[in-house]
Structure 1
Amino acid sequence: MHPLVAATPTPVHPLPRLAKALGLEPEQLWVKREDLTGLAGGGNKARKLQHFMSEALSGGYRVLVTGGGPQSNHARMTAAAAAMNGLGCVLVLRRPETEDLSGNLLLDRMLGAQIHWVDPIPFAALNQSIVDIAGAHTQKAYPIPIGGSSLPGAIAYAQVAQELSTQLTFDLVVVANGSGGTQAGLAAGLGDHARVAGVNVGAQDGIDAFVTDLAAQAAAALGLPTPNGAAQIDHGRIGLAYGVPTKECEEALLLVARTEGLLLDPVYTGKAMAGLIAWARHGRLDGKRVVFVHTGGLPGLLSTRYTQWMGAALVDS
C-alpha cells in the first residue's frame, strides 16, 4: 500500500481577462488551482484525503466509507484513494430521481466503489448513516464524513492557506462552501475570518457556526491563534436548492470559460464564482487582490442532468 500524495503545491495564476470583464485591474483577480491535485480528475478533496488515508492505513482499516449526493466529488476521490491502496470503498449516496450512470457516478463505478443508496435525508442523518454502515461492515471500516469536513480535513486547508501565502500577497480568498471544512481550514491558516469569503451552496444548515467552530479547532491543533471574528458566508447564491443551478451560475460558467478557458462546475465553483462576480459589480472588491479557490468538480458538469441544462443554455448564448 502507498499513502495518497496530492500533486502539490498547486499553481496560482492571474485572471486578467475576467478581471477586465468585471471592471477590476488585471492584477486584482487570481485563481488557486486546487482542481489540479491529480487524484482521479483532481479537486480539493485530495488534500483532505491525504490525512484520512494516513489514519486509515496506520489503523489497519480495510474499507473506506463515505457519502454525499449522487454527483459527489468527494465520493469519487475517496473511491480512487481506496483503489490506490487496495482497500474497499462503500459510498452512501442520496438516491436521485433517476440513477443515471454519468459524471461522478460513472467514475465511482469505474473505480470499484460499492454504492449504498439511501433516501434523500438531511445532512446530519446522512453522516450518521456513514458511521452506522462502517460500524456494521464485516471488515474493519473507516468512516469519513461528507466532504471530509472534520478536523483532519480542516487542518489540510489550514496548510493550504499557508502554502498560498508563500505564493502571493492577497487580501481575500473566495471559496465555495458545501460541507464547510475547506473554508474553516483556510480561515484557520490565515488567522482571520474576514480574509475568507465563503459562498454557501446549500448543502447543510447551520454552516456559519460549524465553520467558525471548526476553524478554531484546526487552529488549536496546529498551535495557531484562534482566527479573528466569525465565518463570512454569502447565503444568497443557493437558488432553489443544493445542486440546482441558477441563472447567475450559468453566467459565471460561461463568462469564466470564455474569458479564461477555465471550466467550473454547476454545484460548487459556479455558484461561488457567481458570488464573486456579484461582489465585483457592486464594488465590494475595489482595491483588493482576490484569490478564487478552484476546488474542482468538472465530472459533475458532465453528468446527463447538467449537460442537458448547459446544452439548453448554450442554445441562447
Structure 2
Amino acid sequence: MHFSRFNPVRFAHLPTPFEPLPGLTEQLTREDGSGPTLWIKRDDCTGLAGGGNKTRKLEYLLGDALAQDADTLVTQGAIQSNHVRQTAAAAAIFGLKCEIILEARTGSNAVDYNRSGNVLLDELLGARHRTVAGGSDMNAELARVAAEVSAAGGRPYVIPGGGSNAIGALGYAECALELVTQANEMGLEIDRIITATGSAGTHAGLVAGLAVMGADIPVLGIGVRAPKDVQEANVFRLAQETAGLFGHAERVTRDMVVADCDYVGAGYGLIDRAVIDALKTIARSDAILLDPVYTGKAMKGLIALAKAGKFDGETVVFLHTGGAQGLFAYQSEMEGQL
C-alpha cells in the first residue's frame, strides 16, 4: 500500500507503542489456565494535544485541506468530543481557524460535562464553538457553518464527525500496516483486534488495511452508539470506500465487518457501573487510562466476553483510541464509585 500518494502531513508520534497487558491478562485467566493473552496498541500516544485515534485521520484530512488552500476547518461532535479537540489542535499547528459544532447529545446539564474536559481544551486551543440541541441534523449544521465561513471570505474545509470518511480512514489502514509490522518484528501472531466503533472510521480503516494487505486478522468493534445492523452497514460501506482508494474495494467482504453492540448501555456517552468497573480494572492492573465514552465501553465488552470464554487461547490486541481527557467531564458521575 502506497500511502504517500495521498499526501498526508506528518505530526503524529508514530509508531505508537505496542505492548503486553500482563495485569489484565492475569485477571482474566481462569483457574484452569484458560483465557486470552492481551496486548494493547497505544493510540492514546499519538501526541496531538493529548493524543488519540483522530490524529492519524487528521494527517490525511489536513493534507487534503492544505492542498485545497483551506484557511478554516469546520467539524462537529458531541460536547466531549475527542475528535473536535484533536481537530482544534491540528488547526492551531497549521495556523488555521477552527469552527466547531458541539451537539448536546447526552442531555447532561452537569457543569463538569459542559465546561471541563475536552471543552476546556477546545477553548484553550483557540477553536470557536457553538452548541446545538441533541438530535440536530449535524450534516446540515456543518453545511450552514461552512456557508457562513465562505460568506465572510474564508475558505472552509469540512471534516465529518470523527474524521470518518475514506480520506480520514486511510489513517487506520496505515495503522493496520504499522501494527502487523510491529507484530512481525516481535514474532507475535495476532488472533484478533478489538476496538471501540462509533463514527466508523477507525474500524473501517483497520478492516480495509488488513484486507488490502491480505492479513487474515479479524477485527471486533465494540459499539458505543448505533445498533448492530446500522453500525456494521456503516463500517462495511466505509471500509469498501477506503480499500477502493487503493483500487481493491472487492477485497473487503461483508463477513469481515463484525460489531458487538450489546455494551452501549443506556446510550452514547451515558455510563454505568460496568463501565466504571472497566475503567478501574485496567487502571489498577496495568496503569492504563481509558475514557468513559469509547474505550471504557470497549473494555467493558472485552472483559465480559473474555470472562464468557469467547477469546480463550487467543492473542488479542486492544486498540486504545485515547480520550482520557474526557474523564474529567464525568467526575460528578463517578464520585463515590472509585
Q: Does 1:69 align with 2:78?
A: yes
CA contact (8 A) 2:236 2:257 kept: yes
Pairing partner for 2:207 from 180, 183, 187: 187
Count the aligned residue pairs. 309
Give the CA deviation at 1:127: 2.6
CA contact (8 A) 1:16 1:26 kept: no
Pairing partner for 1:176 from 192, 196, 200: 196
CA contact (8 A) 1:177 1:200 kept: yes
CA contact (8 A) 2:194 2:220 kept: yes
CA contact (8 A) 1:14 1:26 kept: no
Q: Aligned residue for 1:150?
A: 165
Q: Aligned residue for 1:208?
A: 232
CA contact (8 A) 1:249 1:270 kept: yes
Identity among equivalent positions (%) equals 44
Give the CA deviation at 1:309: 1.9
Q: Aligned residue for 1:196?
A: 219
Q: Does 1:277 align with 2:303?
A: yes
Pairing partner for 2:278 from 238, 252, 256: 252
Which of 1 and 2 has higher RCO (CA within 8 Å, sep 6+)?
A: 2
2:261 and 2:226 mapped to 1: Cα distance?
11
Q: Does 1:78 align with 2:101?
A: no
Instruction: Identify the range of structure 1 (81-90 vs 22-31) with the bigger mean alpha-carbon deviation.
Output: 22-31
2:122 and 2:167 mapped to 1: Cα distance?
23
Q: Does 1:234 align with 2:260?
A: yes
Give the CA deviation at 1:207: 1.7
Pairing partner for 2:58 from 49, 66, 71: 49
Pairing partner for 1:110 from 115, 124, 132: 124
2:35 and 2:304 mapped to 1: Cα distance?
18
Q: Aligned residue for 2:4?
A: none
Give the CA deviation at 1:196: 0.4
The residue identity in structure 2 corresponding to 1:130 is: L
Q: Does 1:133 align with 2:145?
A: yes
The residue identity in structure 1 corresponding to 2:72 is: V
Provide TM-score, normalisation by structure 1.
Answer: 0.92
**Change beyond 3 A, Cα 1:177–1:46:** same
CA contact (8 A) 1:197 1:233 kept: yes
Gaps of 5+ in 2: 1-7, 184-188
Q: What RMSD over aligned residues (CA atoms) do the two structures have, in Å?
A: 2.0
Give the CA deviation at 1:128: 2.8
1:84 and 1:156 mapped to 2: Cα distance?
18
Provide TM-score, normalisation by structure 2.
Answer: 0.87
2:156 and 2:98 mapped to 1: Cα distance?
9
Give the CA deviation at 1:61: 0.7
Q: After superposition, give the CA deviation of every residue in 1:85-129 in whole Å (9 maximum; x if it has no partner).
A: 11110110113543632100000000111112111125xx21331
Q: Aligned residue for 1:12?
A: 18
Q: Aligned residue for 2:312?
A: 286
Detail structure 1 runs of 4+ shifted over 4 Å in the superposition. 24-27
Gaps of 5+ in 1: none
SS of the aligned residue for 1:91 comes to strand
